[in-house]
Amino acid sequence: MRMVDLIEKKKHGLELNEEEIHDIIQGYVADKIPDYQMSAFMMAIYFQGMTEKETAILTNEMMHSGDTMDLSAIQGIKVDKHSTGGVGDKTSLAVGPMVAACGAPVAKMSGRGLGHTGGTLDKLESIPGLSVYLSEEDFIKQVNEIKLAIIGQTKKLDPADAKMYALRDVTGTVDSIPLIASSIMSKKLAAGADAILLDVKYGDGAFMKNVEDARKLAKTMIAIGDHLGRDTRATISNMNQPLGNAIGNSLEVKEAIATLKGEGPRDFTELCFEAGETMLLMTKMAATREEAHQKLEAVIQDGSALAVLAKMVEAQGGDASYIMHPEKFPKTKEVITVTSLESGYIEDLEALNLGLVSMKLGGGRAKMDDQIDHAVGLVLKKKVGDHVEAGEPLLDVHTNTGLSEELKADILSAYHIVDHEVAIPQLIEEILE
Ligand code: URA
């Protein structure tokens, strides 16, 4: 069938079959289908959606559009974790070492940040010397030896997604559940882990703005994982305010290190434990959530989780002394404290806008090839539910380029202050297993 006929078919809400979806993905990767037709096709998906079967077929075709990793040489049940993206989300940097220190092999492929969301690879690269590009052989060797490796995906892994995502970014087709689900799951499946934990975020700082859509996305991805024989589970968590207190690359690494010492912020620590418990259950390293929790507590108390992070940094060519002495991370020229103009309780803290402020300070990218400044960012002093007096610090801005009146106004307007008490919001909405 001609591509135009397949676009028509989807436009009218009809179900595409395996052969049709195969031809579209193969044709697009081979440059036989032009971007304008693929854009129209994805816009038709955006409006008409896809059935569970179509989404699973699309994912399978994308996954097989390039190389797939064979991790069978790693002993044990290999687990990967993926967050749908948010502000201040440094979970992998803490939960990876925690779970690995308990003996579970963590073979993780991560991405880079774009727009208001940060990326684990950029955070890791704030550690001098560290490389996120390992050969498949070295990746497998490292996971066998120290139980943890966090790397970037190669260009040969899931080329269909790389092309489709770049096109979606400029054609208003990012926020479609079948397209997000197939994009994330095709990469995770190609990366080869046996078990996949998804942290699906909802709220102002996430792709999914409400909990219902996040649940729908999580269920779609779990169905794809089940269909293709991988144990896939999901956490639905709140991204209406930043996670933890630090936003910005080396600032977030430092917060992950503090968390591995048992000194992290309450919300971030809660998410790391919850994710870690699920990962230990999936890898059969614990039989119950209580047992998993105790194991995770133990590796924080005895320092072994922090030691695994240091070993991973060293194995990937980085300077591990930064992990034991985080005061070594380069500091910005200035740290400017922004204080509250009014007294009251913080009702809302716009994650999206604070993520954008960090990006504009140089901590993130507006375009995929922008350079980033690893030292800049924000450290929150007040979060939702806290009381603040006029003149009290709201946050510190770590900057190498000062703080313009415009950015200061953006920060102040991200804090919504009211005169009545506000409950601390629930971070974890649901665990889907
Ligand atoms: N992350 C991805 O990898 N793909 C999407 O479509 C959205 C978030």
Of residues 51, 74, 57, 59, the one with CA closest to residue 18: 57
Report residue 198's pLDDT band, with 50, 70 and 90 as the boundaries: very high
CATH code at 125? 3.40.1030.10
Residue 387 scores a pLDDT above 90: yes
Same domain, residue pair 196 and 273: yes
In a domain, 17, yes or no: yes
Same domain, residue pair 152 and 182: yes
- Report phi then psi at 152, rounded to 5: -90, 155
Same domain, residue pair 281 and 160: yes
Mean pLDDT of 124-141: 95
Question: Domain containing 184: what range?
Answer: 79-324
Dump pLDDT digits (tens) for 140-180. 999 999 999 999 988 899 999 999 988 998 898 988 999 99
Nearest-atom number in ligand 1 for the CA of 168 is 6
Chosen domain end from 27, 49, 71? 49
In a domain, 62, yes or no: no
In a domain, 69, yes or no: no
**pLDDT for res 316:** 97
Same domain, residue pair 229 and 372: no
Closest residue CA from atom 7 of ligand 1: 180
Q: Tally the domains of the chain.
A: 3
Determine the Cα–Cα distance for residues 99 and 329; give it in Å rounded to an integer.
Answer: 25
- Maximum Cα–Cα distance across the chain: 67
Same domain, residue pair 229 and 118: yes
Average pLDDT over the chain reads 95
Mean pLDDT of 113-120: 79
**pLDDT for res 157:** 92
Closest residue CA from atom 5 of ligand 1: 180
**pLDDT for res 403:** 98
Report residue 254's pLDDT band, with 50, 70 and 90 as the boundaries: very high
184 lines ligand 1 (CB under 6 A): yes
Radius of gyration of the chain (CA): 22
User: Could you tell me where the beta strands, DSSP code E, fall in 191-312?
Assistant: 195-202, 231-238, 246-247
Dump pLDDT digits (tens) for 20-67. 999 999 999 999 999 999 999 999 999 999 999 999 999 999 999 999
Same domain, residue pair 120 and 226: yes
Q: Are the beta carbons of 429 and 372 closer than 8 angstroms?
A: no
Same domain, residue pair 279 and 392: no
Q: Which helix (H) or strand (E) holds 82?
A: strand 79-83
**pLDDT for res 369:** 78
CATH code at 34? 1.20.970.10
Residue 363 scores a pLDDT above 80: yes
In a domain, 291, yes or no: yes
More confident residue, 119 or 45: 45
**pLDDT for res 154:** 83
Same domain, residue pair 273 and 343: no
Task: Express the helix, strand and coil content of the chain in percent, nearest 5 each.
Answer: 45, 15, 35
- Within 8 A by CB and 6+ apart from 40, the residues are 7
Catalytic member of 78, 187, 254, 374? 187
Pocket mutation for ligand 1, best pick of 45, 80, 165 (most atoms within 8 Å of C-beta): 165
**pLDDT for res 42:** 98
Same domain, residue pair 202 and 270: yes
Chosen domain end from 302, 324, 346? 324
- How high is the ipTM of this complex? 0.97
Chosen domain end from 324, 348, 367? 324
**pLDDT for res 170:** 86
Residue 113 scores a pLDDT above 80: no
Residue 118 scores a pLDDT above 90: no
Catalytic member of 82, 147, 201, 230? 82
Same domain, residue pair 302 and 357: no
Report residue 367's pLDDT band, with 50, 70 and 90 as the boundaries: confident
Same domain, residue pair 109 and 251: yes
Long-range contacts of 164-168, Cβ-Cβ distance < 8 Å, separation of 24 or more: 164/28, 164/38, 164/42, 164/62, 166/368, 167/35, 167/38, 167/39, 167/42, 168/42
Mean pLDDT of 241-268: 97
In a domain, 423, yes or no: no
In a domain, 63, yes or no: no
Dump pLDDT digits (tens) for 301-316. 999 999 999 999 999 9
| pTM of the full structure | 0.94
Q: Is 387 an annotated catalytic residue? A: no
84 lines ligand 1 (CB under 6 A): yes
In a domain, 426, yes or no: no
Q: How far apart are the first and last CA of the chain?
A: 39
Closest residue CA from atom 6 of ligand 1: 180
Same domain, residue pair 164 and 312: yes
Catalytic member of 39, 126, 183, 186? 183
**pLDDT for res 34:** 97
More confident residue, 283 or 204: 283
Residue 231 scores a pLDDT above 80: yes
Instruction: Give residue 77's identity as a one-letter amino acid code.
Output: I
CATH code at 409? 3.90.1170.30
In a domain, 57, yes or no: no
**pLDDT for res 142:** 97
Dump pLDDT digits (tens) for 58-87. 999 999 999 999 999 999 999 999 999 889
